[in-house]
Structure 1
Amino acid sequence: MASTAFLLLDATGYGPIFEEEPIDVVYTEDSPEGRISMNCRVRANPPATYRWRRDNWEIKLMEQPDEHYSLVGGNLVITNPRQKKHAGTYVCVAWNVYGTVISKEARVKFGYLEEFPQEERDPVYVKEGQGAVLLCAPPKAWPQEVTYRWIYNEFPVFMFTDNRRFVSQKTGNLYISKVEAQDAGNYSCFVSSPIIGKSVFSKFIPLIPLPPEDGEERKYPADIRVKFPDTTAMLASNITLECFALGNPIPHIVWRKVDATDLPPNHEISESGAVLHLYNVQYEDVGGYECEAINTKGKDWHKAWLYVESAPEWAETINNTQIDIGSEHTMRCVASGKPFPFIRLLCFFLEVSALKFSSLTFEDSGMYQCIAENYWGIKYANAELRVIACAPTFEFNPVKQQLLGAKDGRVVIECKPRAAPRPRFTWTKGKELLFNNSRSVHISIMYDGSLEILNATKNDEGLYTCLAENDRGKGSSSGYLTITGQLAPEDTEVKVGDEVILKCSASYDPMLDITFIWAIDFRVINFDTEWRHYERVMVGCEDGSGDLRIKNVQIWHEGRYTCTAQTVVDNDTAYADLKVVGVPGPPGVLRIEEIGDTWVKLLWSKGAEHNSPILYYTVQTRHFWALNEDDWRNATPTFLDGNAERADVTDLYPWMEYQFRIIATNEYGSGEASIPSLKIKTWDAPPVVSPTDVAGYGGRNGEIVISWTVGVLHISCFSNYNMYLLMMLMFTEYYILF
């Protein structure tokens, strides 16, 4: 009765499952609401109890009532929040008798936008035709996502931007490429925080254009003053790159992607040309970006790199599991992301990387959580482990009352009661107790409790009873075995691509029609639609044979094949297991564990062996400065032991983009390669050799010709700009200055 009661409770109750978790909050102390609500709601049976933590310290709402904190359902309400006391990281903890779950972290931060200093700003004097920069010097703000505009002479008159005037949304500074007389006036930097709904502006800065000394404007070459830095973006995010130059005439801005004919299709350039927007950034957008400023007096250029990283995503995670007491069980979580995420598994407030239970107990039941985290985000996975126990019962799966077996064939009588822990099995035939090898070598009790009879004869007919017993109780079920004249198929092993015939025949009344039905893993084979692989062997059918031919055998043809001989008055069934051997399947998820300048550490999971042990793995790589991006080459080391699941790949080039893949090989050959890893870039490093045979001589039209040799590669460049660009593209650490 105790077991039954436990099962009833087990079937209706469940641990907490989050339906709403707290989110980050930005609060300003002058907010009219005067409160913060951190929401948390779970579904659970019985209902869950809630607790909250701030910076890993429990908020003791029950024991110590607080004038600021209160609990409304599962929600934490903070009344009259104060920064010193209430800013921090909060988590919601929900629990019931089945276990505990912890919500994702939510941060409470206090937003602010300070005022500009009240000191007067110095005037800016600049000659007409020259460029000017007016510094914003914005006050401190949180969040840092603010927008900048400039007031011209009086509020609310704002200065318009164009290809001559630019306001950087990174620094707030105002840039005028070529000052004109009409630019004279007073300018104030206007800063707005859309999140907290506040704006401030600076003291006015007088801009005073001065007429040219000789009455004629001087011309100046393009001079880039707004330079975008090396940028790391999150996958699928939007980014903005700024580039603006001073000069007279007004410079024209041109954008390029290094080593590419065009900018990515997801780009947009502002009307002024000073801003490049990239939307929904992907890994293929990684690379160098260059802006060039050009006017009739000269040109200037700037280049920086864009890197793309990603938040964690689950490759393998935990799921709700119901499992017998005393069983073995492993819980593991695997995640991808860039940089590689830190993964931890929480159980009863302990943190581990993986859990392996050698013998489950009731105390192991509960809620478990996997957490994968990197710079870009955090990913949670919750699951309940439920350990059960009950006496053996055949209510749901009794032994078949009428059993048929083929003469001289193999007969298996299944015994599959519901029981936990795993029961002990005994069999009887009539009143005779059966043991392995007790009657003859052709009868044995299998590990799963089934009874196996080989080379069955009429003497094996009779009433068979399976008795199952564990420490919770016992149960039994019986069936009567009749031996017929059917020839059963035999267990067979076949290689991928070969052909095999499974034989099946039966004795029957020739006055009746007989039909043979074949099934694999209890799915009936449809010969009309599956003719490419399955075919009936019709020769001898009039003698009661219905063999099955399997052509061009594939891995998925492996399984248990059942042959049923059927007439209008009777039927009989026999089965055999087909084992298919072949090359290994592709290894599992390939991850980059660490990156160096000339090396990386790889980690992968074992793929399917396909019934033949893996002899060795082959590591391959490709880099993205090759002429053919599909050119996979063996890495160093090339071959690894078949039990390996990690590798230290060496002899790579610094500052180079790579992908990696793994191929498994067994005695039947090499399988498909794994899915390529994410693209990575090795760390940069100083060059190990210098160019040789450097020579130069004068050219035409004021040009200089320089040539040099790097290994066997000879490069000649005409004009200093083209030479410098090509050197930067091919050997990024060499800089030639004139």
Structure 2
Amino acid sequence: MRSILAASFLIFLQIIRGERGLTRDPEFISGIRNVSVAVGRDASLSCHISNNQGYKVAWIRIDTQTILTLNNHVITKNHRIDVSQPEDTEWKLDIKDVRPRDAGFYMCQVNTEPMKSKLGYLEVVEPPSIQDGLTSRDQIVSEGDNIVLACKATGHPTPQIRWRREDGKHIRGNIDKEYIGPIISLVSVSKEDMGAYLCIAQNGVPPAVSRRTILQVKYPPTVLLTPGPAAGVTGGALVLTCAASGFPEPVTSWVHNNRAIPSGGRFEIVTEVQDGQVITRLVIDPLTSHDAFSRYTCIGKNNLGSAEDSITLNITEARGNDDVKKVRVENEIIYKNPRLEIWEINDLPNPSYPNQENKGKAGGRGAGGKGELFTRRRNNGVTEPNQDLFSRASTDFEFKATFLIVVLKMLFNFLNPEI
């Protein structure tokens, strides 16, 4: 009896297989390869099944238990889903314009008894994106304040956050130039902490992104006259350079012996900003004897205070470029301009001494003396003949006549030494 039932069951299976036209059950040729794709790209998952004639092949999304396709028909209403059969043994699920929510497990299933299936995973990678609401903006703080700089980014895989200073300096309290982590805490900030901080987020999916946060620390000015020459000669030029730093940006000025210096005349003031410092230059041209041992001061001010730095100049008289050039004529006459000054005979006084030392003396041989300086000075500094031997030489003609008489007198004395 049992043998008859077994034979009947075998005959039934053969009838079923004959109706499907099969000699063997479908088999998966290989597993489904996992796929990783960036957001916005297209993705495809493929399963390969042998002996699939007469059977139904479906694609199902596991997390939602949604049937997407059945054989060559799309069941879901998602217009980005499609199915194709490039070969008799290949069933291909296509997803266009992949989005982060498309990530997950997908099942390729054939309706055998029992059901056969294979799973494949779709990974959707997303480049990092910095979240504005959770990332620090530019900050202005006072010296001694405690601050926190935060940076938050999304993406898949989870982005790594790195901080570094834009000027290449080390972040305080960190050995390396880069700090890894979403938050920087700075206790009792100082002006050395000022600058631009870069938050960089990356997760291996290009492009990496960054956000620039500027930290400004309010502090009173500091002023420094940069090293340079503080000496010169009269008639020359000299440039004094001063660097002022502070926040808010200081206003600079120059003072000479406690008097403000305006730009103009022999002074020129040039100001520019370099690397967060106010650089101001004072050009003095020309230098005069009044600049000798005088004090020049650079001042910087902001609403938190002021600072200054001073320098004393060492000015010497120019040599080899005298204001008055004198010519000596054979031990007898030395003159510059006939309208300005005349000396006669031997004992010529030193021109550097005041003319008052020779006032009232007899003038040369013709006037009863030797070495007399016949000059005087007006208030405006112009030298002209004194009221003596040449007092009547008010014009060029009169002077030339008087000068000729003097020359003839000298010639006469030379030819007649005994007289």
Report the TM-score, using the length of structure 1 for normalisation.
0.22
Higher-helix-fraction structure: 2
Q: Based on CA coordinates, which of the two structures has the bigger radius of gyration?
A: 2
Higher normalized contact order (CA 8 Å, seq sep 6+, divided by chain length): 2
Higher-strand-fraction structure: 1
